[in-house]
């Protein structure tokens, strides 16, 4: 890889880690490895290590972070319930979703093509990056970064929800032949965090408005408000 391209990529990785994990990379080699899929030219032609070992490490680090969080948050929590919550938070679905939210595929060194990045590659890369942050900056800073990510994208509430309010609203509208439409009202920042305000209309009438760190989460929140009006749900 030409020096100019390599230095630009390294700068993008540094910005990405600072923005989403709140740490300044000290040993960039870990992060380059974390974003290197086994299909990359670096692995295939240069014999460089893929991110699979860091995936393995990051998986265990994530488990520890979430277990400790739940242990402290629910001092009287039932072991079975906490096990289920942990499973949801570190599930492939959760990590794929989180990877999509922060756009991790844009830095992946893979020969799959950006348009065809499989969802699981995002989740695998998330684990690898967590492993890289752990090796570079230690457990405390990794924990802080991961928990901020979970809070920023409301992962606990989104994954613990038993009802998909958006789907429920669409199904209700289809049965009654009433159009359900979501519109972005505005994009704004609150306490330095980028947010979307979303409005849901049913049959042309505003039924709910809410905001969130992504369009998807804002739609789900607005749909929840609408369902509360229609069904009395919470």
Distance CA 162, CA 92 (A): 17
How much is the pLDDT for 118?
Answer: 66
Contacts of 229 (CB under 8 A, 6+ apart): 207, 208
Residues 209 and 227 in one domain: yes
Placement of tokens 């289920």 in the chain: 84
**DSSP, residue by residue, 15-34:** HHHHHHH----S-HHHHHHH
Residues 61-86 have a mean pLDDT of: 86
Residues 91 and 190 in one domain: no
Residues 73-79 have a mean pLDDT of: 77
Residues 33-56 have a mean pLDDT of: 90
Residues 12 and 127 in one domain: yes
What is the share, in percent, of the chain residues with pLDDT greater than 70? Answer: 89
Instruction: Show which residues are catalytic.
Output: 59, 127
* CATH code, domain carrying 172: 3.30.160.20
Placement of tokens 């690898």 in the chain: 128
**19's tokens:** 């923005």
Beta strands per DSSP E along the chain: 180-190, 193-202, 205-212
Residues 110 and 56 in one domain: yes
How much is the pLDDT for 124?
Answer: 93
- Given a cut of 50, is residue 217 above it in pLDDT? yes
Residues 98 and 177 in one domain: no
Residues 189 and 213 in one domain: yes
Placement of tokens 């519109």 in the chain: 183
Q: What is the pTM of this model?
A: 0.66
**100's tokens:** 């999509």
Residues 120 and 222 in one domain: no
- Given a cut of 60, is residue 147 above it in pLDDT? yes
Residues 11 and 41 in one domain: yes
Segments forming the whole domain that contains residue 194: 165-231
- Given a cut of 60, is residue 132 above it in pLDDT? yes
- Given a cut of 50, is residue 115 above it in pLDDT? no
Q: Tens digits of per-residue pLDDT, 162-213?
A: 457 888 899 999 989 999 999 999 999 877 778 899 999 999 999 999 988 8
* CATH code, domain carrying 73: 1.10.1520.10
- Given a cut of 80, is residue 150 above it in pLDDT? yes
């Amino acid at each position: 890889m030409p020096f100019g391209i390599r230095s630009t990529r390294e700068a993008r990785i540094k910005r990405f880690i600072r923005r989403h994990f709140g740490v300044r990379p000290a040993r960039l080699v870990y992060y380059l490895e974390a974003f290197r899929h086994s299909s990359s030219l670096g692995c295939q032609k240069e014999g460089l290590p893929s991110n699979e070992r860091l995936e393995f490490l990051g998986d265990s680090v994530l488990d520890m972070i979430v277990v400790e969080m739940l242990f402290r948050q629910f001092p009287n929590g039932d072991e079975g319930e906490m096990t289920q919550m942990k499973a949801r938070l570190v599930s492939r679905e959760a990590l794929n979703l989180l990877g999509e939210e922060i756009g991790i595929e844009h830095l992946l060194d893979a020969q799959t093509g950006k348009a065809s990045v499989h969802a699981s590659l995002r989740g695998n890369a998330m684990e690898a990056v967590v492993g890289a942050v752990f090796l570079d900056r230690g457990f405390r800073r990794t924990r802080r970064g991961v928990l901020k990510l979970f809070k920023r994208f409301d992962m606990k509430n989104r994954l613990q929800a038993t009802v998909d309010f958006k789907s429920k609203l669409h199904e209700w509208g289809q049965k009654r032949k009433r159009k359900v439409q979501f519109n972005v009202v505005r994009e704004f920042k609150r306490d330095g965090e980028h947010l979307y305000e979303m409005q849901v209309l049913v049959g042309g009438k505003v039924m709910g408005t809410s905001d969130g760190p992504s369009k998807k989460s804002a739609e789900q929140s607005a749909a929840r408000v609408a369902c509360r009006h229609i069904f009395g749900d919470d």
